[in-house]
Structure 1
Amino acid sequence: MNVNFEKIDQVNATLTISFVEEDYKNDVKKQLAELGQRRPLKGFRPGHVPASLLERNFGPQVRSEVIDRKVSHALTEYIVNNHVPVLGEPMLDKDTKVDLNTEKEFSFKFELGLAPEFDVTVDKSVKVPYYNIEVSQEMIDRQNETLRKRYGKQVPGEVAAEDSMLRGSLVELDAEGNEKADGIKAERTVISPQYLKDEEQKAKFVGAKVGDVVVFNPGKATGGNENEMAAMLNVDKEQAAVESDFSMKVDEILVNQDAELNQEFFDNVLGKGQAATEEEYLSKLKDMLAAQLKNDSNYRFTLDVEKVLRDQVGELEMPDEFLKRFLASRNEELDAEKVEEQYPTTKKHLQWQLIKDKVAKALSVKVEVEDKMRLARYFAAQQFAQYGMSNLPDDVIDNYAHKLLEDARSSNDIEERAFDDKLFAAIKQAVTLEEKAVTVDEFNQLFAEQ
């Protein structure tokens, strides 16, 4: 067997693998003999099928399998042993033709796309802006108000607000505004004005008092959604397509009462025992907001790092035509026009990935098992928090984190995120940060200016 690597230019090459019969005939004989043991032909005992008969029946198929394995092994071995920086995957040259039935010597020519050679510096000589977002009193007050509403409760009230719940009985009305004979009636219906889709209908409930009668149109209030109308009128969906007005006698109003600033509230928000006084709670709340804003600062840092390093490296030469063919080969739905349309984005992403990989190697960044588990636990806790479930026991978080890592797709996403987190943390330590204090508005303006 002969393997020949030929570099066409800095980012394109070919790899040709050639075989003569001596390279594969013994493997073919061995596999045919094993086949005779496993799948004996009619009239012959296992292991006693003549070699000529095995060759006639299975020779081309076995020869194809043997050569395919040898080609794949030789290709991989050469690339790995010689550290060839391949982009995508090798593609068989379109001019390679092989006839296993008539030929005994074969040659397979592969096209290779190569990663460009470049240098990148990540040390204290490299300066990157880092924006520290200030936590304002307005932000603390707004977050405190949001949390008090979230952990508040509903209590009986006399006047309905937009977020109140009104209970009462519904009666269908005729064109004159009187109770309709054989019309729909619904007892103990619940309506919350904030969920009504029509502002005029919503306004009829806001300000209503216990004992009031509100006349409204369910069709307009629900935007004609028959499922919502059926639930409101307590009827089947088929009966819900009505255009009549209804009256609702308000029997009960439940209003939202903000949570009191007490120990129960502090524990719900921060975790048990984290704050004992309002002063401690507000201080912790400020720290929470600062941590959230730090995530925003770090995200902005990743964008600025990318700009600084791209500017330093310059435009990387890529095997454009090879990569376009590779993209088309991986997705039959991509025609030439779509490949041309998508390639600039793919190229930009690939160039940045090459830069990141080079920096990761220079800074010895590697993702360990504990990195993935730590991030999986974070994602698990975040998902539970979306449903209002916070401060869950560790074993619940751990179990869900393990499930995330068992799923191939989510595990891959977690590994990519863990890599980026460790990489940018390492870059942050390696470069010189040009720190700037900014308000939220000033920070947001940075994105508007891009």
Structure 2
Amino acid sequence: MNITKENIDALNAVVKVEISAADYQEKVEGILQDYRKKADVPGFRKGHVPAGMIKKQYGKSIMIDEVNKLLQESLNNFLTEEKLDILGNPLPKMQEDFNWDTEDFSFEFELGLAPEFDVDLKAKKKITQYNIVADDELLDKEVENLQKRFGKLVPQEVVEEGFTVAGTFTNEEKAIENKTTIELNTIKGKVNLKKFVGKKVGDVIELKSKGLFDDDHKLMAALGLTHDEIHGLEIPLTFTIEEINVTELAEINQELFDKIFGADVVKSLEELKAKIKEDAEKQFLAQADQQLLNAVTEYLVENTKFDLPADFLKKWIATAGENPLTPEQANEEYEKSEKGLRYQLIEGKVLKDNELQINFDELKDFTKGFVKAQMAQYGQLNPEEKELDDIVQRVLSNQEEAKRLQEQLVSKKLLDFYKENITFKVKEVNYENFVKEVYK
């Protein structure tokens, strides 16, 4: 057997695999002998069927099978031994004059090679790192929300702004009949709000789904539909009022503090706000970190220049799925995936050059921290070590879950590395302005 590689250019190569009869004949003969021992052919005793008959019936198919196995094994070994960093999978080159009726065979495979490049972490235009703070306006709003949550509903006869109404949304065409409760401050637009004000129990209000709430997720809950079902939904709705209530705010006192945090954990409004601020800014930090990772990713993709073996990748995409794609479809898929592929290569380069790869012990520790956090949400603050280890083992035995956690750990390592090695422009904002700037 002879395997050679010819570089077409920096990103494309052809591997040629030459297989002779000596490479596979002994294995084929051994399989034929085994077939002969087991063959049950009328007119012959078992194990005494003529070898020529067995060879004539099975020889070619066995030979083809063994050549293909040998070809795949030798090609994989060659790629490993040569340490070739390829994109996609090798693509066999079609040979019009190929013939299985010979003894010696020659196969050729196209390779798409990963480009060589450097990653520059010295951003010319500094990336913004947001420090999201809980300002006084947010803290006052959260205090009021807690007062509402622990307050009591007082029935009313007539709807006014700021009230809560319970009732049923209906639409005959979409078979919608869903009971829900609406806080009127979530209704979008003065026109919609006016339709509620002044109404009583039993009144029916005509509405439209589009632009009804300040958030489409609230429309999804109000109508009992899925995210896909409410996307672009424009239908008439009727809402029948069944209850009208106003929330009487709970008093800000020790009784309220104890209900929220437990006995004597918080003892004043100032301490309450400090606790809210601490918890809110922990959540904000996670969002700011995700935004920072996204911003670095965008920067690196835009500013790390290298070519890809585009023609090869398009051909590979056309044949990689269950159903072959047309050249036009493959080109469209390539355009969709090119940016992601570029970042995969950049991420791999950063991880390799800076020895940021993770090992199984790190993944176990990370998973343990994740499990402990989950358990703490349900009041299990001090689980036993054996219980934790058993849960971690079960979680990591699920391949999809293990992959998801591994990706999270890689993202954390990358983010920590970027924070240490990139100089950012730090900007302090409240949450409202962060949302405006990042998700505008």
Q: Same fold (TM over 0.5)?
A: yes
* Per-residue CA distance 1:394-424 (angstroms, 9 max, x = gap): 7799988776655544443333232222222
Q: 2:297 aligns with which of 291, 303, 306?
A: 306
CA distance in 2, matches of 1:92, 1:247: 66
The corresponding residue for 1:421 is 412
Q: 2:276 aligns with which of 281, 285, 288?
A: 285
Alpha-carbon distance change, 254 to 279 in structure 1, aligned in 2, over 3 angstroms:
same
- Once the two structures are TM-superposed, the CA of residue 262 in structure 1 deviates from its matched residue by 6.4
The SS at the match of 2:355 is coil
The SS at the match of 2:274 is helix
- Once the two structures are TM-superposed, the CA of residue 354 in structure 1 deviates from its matched residue by 0.8
Cα pair 2:317 2:330 within 8 Å, conserved: yes
Which amino acid is the alignment partner of residue 69 of structure 2?
A: R
- Once the two structures are TM-superposed, the CA of residue 447 in structure 1 deviates from its matched residue by 3.6
Which amino acid is the alignment partner of residue 150 of structure 2?
A: G
Alpha-carbon distance change, 446 to 253 in structure 1, aligned in 2, over 3 angstroms:
closer
The corresponding residue for 1:83 is 83
CA distance in 2, matches of 1:3, 1:438: 61
CA distance in 2, matches of 1:126, 1:205: 51
1:437 aligns with 2:428: yes
* Per-residue CA distance 1:163-198 (angstroms, 9 max, x = gap): 64669xxxxxxxxxxxxxxxxxxxxxx874659999
Cα pair 1:205 1:214 within 8 Å, conserved: no
Task: Give the RMSD, CA atoms, in angstroms.
Answer: 4.5
CA distance in 2, matches of 1:246, 1:345: 43
Which amino acid is the alignment partner of residue 309 of structure 2?
A: P
Task: Please say which structure displays the higher CA radius of gyration.
Answer: 1
CA distance in 2, matches of 1:88, 1:131: 37
CA distance in 2, matches of 1:438, 1:360: 31
Alpha-carbon distance change, 320 to 139 in structure 1, aligned in 2, over 3 angstroms:
same
Which amino acid is the alignment partner of residue 59 of structure 1?
A: G
CA distance in 1, matches of 2:151, 2:111: 65
Which amino acid is the alignment partner of residue 414 of structure 1?
A: L
Alpha-carbon distance change, 302 to 24 in structure 1, aligned in 2, over 3 angstroms:
same
- Once the two structures are TM-superposed, the CA of residue 309 in structure 1 deviates from its matched residue by 3.3
- Once the two structures are TM-superposed, the CA of residue 380 in structure 1 deviates from its matched residue by 7.5
Alpha-carbon distance change, 427 to 222 in structure 1, aligned in 2, over 3 angstroms:
closer
Where in structure 1 are there 5+ consecutive unaligned residues? 168-189, 224-230, 232-244
Cα pair 1:130 1:434 within 8 Å, conserved: yes
The SS at the match of 1:365 is coil
CA distance in 1, matches of 2:208, 2:285: 41
The SS at the match of 2:9 is coil
1:318 aligns with 2:308: yes
The corresponding residue for 1:104 is 103
Cα pair 1:12 1:113 within 8 Å, conserved: yes
- Once the two structures are TM-superposed, the CA of residue 96 in structure 1 deviates from its matched residue by 6.6
Alpha-carbon distance change, 76 to 132 in structure 1, aligned in 2, over 3 angstroms:
same
Cα pair 1:201 1:216 within 8 Å, conserved: no
CA distance in 2, matches of 1:201, 1:120: 53
The SS at the match of 1:8 is strand
The SS at the match of 1:432 is coil
Which amino acid is the alignment partner of residue 55 of structure 1?
A: K
Alpha-carbon distance change, 247 to 217 in structure 1, aligned in 2, over 3 angstroms:
closer
- Once the two structures are TM-superposed, the CA of residue 335 in structure 1 deviates from its matched residue by 2.5
TM-score relative to the length of structure 1: 0.70
Cα pair 1:163 1:192 within 8 Å, conserved: no
CA distance in 1, matches of 2:138, 2:71: 64
Alpha-carbon distance change, 155 to 446 in structure 1, aligned in 2, over 3 angstroms:
closer
Alpha-carbon distance change, 292 to 28 in structure 1, aligned in 2, over 3 angstroms:
same
The corresponding residue for 2:130 is 131
The corresponding residue for 1:16 is 16
Alpha-carbon distance change, 390 to 145 in structure 1, aligned in 2, over 3 angstroms:
farther
The corresponding residue for 1:58 is 58
Deviates more, 1:389-398 or 1:340-349: 389-398
* Per-residue CA distance 1:359-414 (angstroms, 9 max, x = gap): 111221123445555666788899x89xxx94343779998877665554444333
Report how many aligned residue pairs link the two structures. 395
Cα pair 1:215 1:246 within 8 Å, conserved: no
1:391 aligns with 2:381: no
The corresponding residue for 1:143 is 142
TM-score relative to the length of structure 2: 0.72
Alpha-carbon distance change, 354 to 147 in structure 1, aligned in 2, over 3 angstroms:
farther
CA distance in 1, matches of 2:338, 2:418: 23
Alpha-carbon distance change, 282 to 401 in structure 1, aligned in 2, over 3 angstroms:
farther
Alpha-carbon distance change, 264 to 411 in structure 1, aligned in 2, over 3 angstroms:
farther
CA distance in 2, matches of 1:401, 1:153: 40
The corresponding residue for 1:359 is 350
The SS at the match of 2:378 is coil
